[in-house]
Amino acid sequence: MDQELRERTKRTAQMLFHTLKGGVAFETWKKLDRDLARKLSMFFAGELYSREVISQKQRELCAVASLTVLHRPKELHAHIHAALNVGASRQEVTEVIFQQVTYGGMPVVVEALDVLVESLRERGEWEE
């Protein structure tokens, strides 16, 4: 296995998801199929998410938009953390979610905003 790819995978995953409590999907994947989990992680974090064509911030804002419209709250939670971890502001994440009303409707936006607030609470960045 390519050592540089392994290191890049670890660095990228750490950078994106270090603030998540309870880990990411990879932990579940490993319990089900360790070899496949490693291959998936190497592709997602080591290959796809480490590309430099667009910035990590742009990449994560795209993920937030897509996951909002697709109504994938668990993944959205992870990628809101990742977006904030790579320099997206709270206002930028909020705006990207609001923008999705055009594509997914108000119900998915309302639920995504709830996920955003939950994520901000976890990070100690939300005041009632």
15 by DSSP, 3-state: which?
Answer: helix
Q: Higher-confidence residue: 59 or 14?
A: 59
Q: Which residue range forms the structural domain that includes residue 35?
A: 1-51
- The pLDDT score that the predictor gives to residue 76 is 97
Q: What confidence tens digit (pLDDT) does each residue in 67-111 have?
A: 999 999 999 999 999 999 999 999 999 999 999 999 999 999 999
C-alpha span between 37 and 15 (Å, rounded): 19
**Position 6 in a domain:** yes
Tokens of 70: 């697709």
Could you tell me the CATH number of the domain that includes residue 87?
1.20.1290.10
Which of 29, 51, 73 is a domain's end point?
Answer: 51
Domain count across the chain = 2
Contact 9, 16 (CB under 8 A): no
* pLDDT at residue 83, rounded to an integer: 98
Q: What is the mean pLDDT of the chain?
A: 93
Q: SS3 of 13, please?
A: helix
Q: What is the pLDDT of residue 88?
A: 98
Helix 56-70 and helix 90-99: axis angle, to 10°?
A: 40
**In which region does residue 89 sit, left (phi positive, over 0), alpha (psi from -120 to 50) or beta (all else)?**
beta
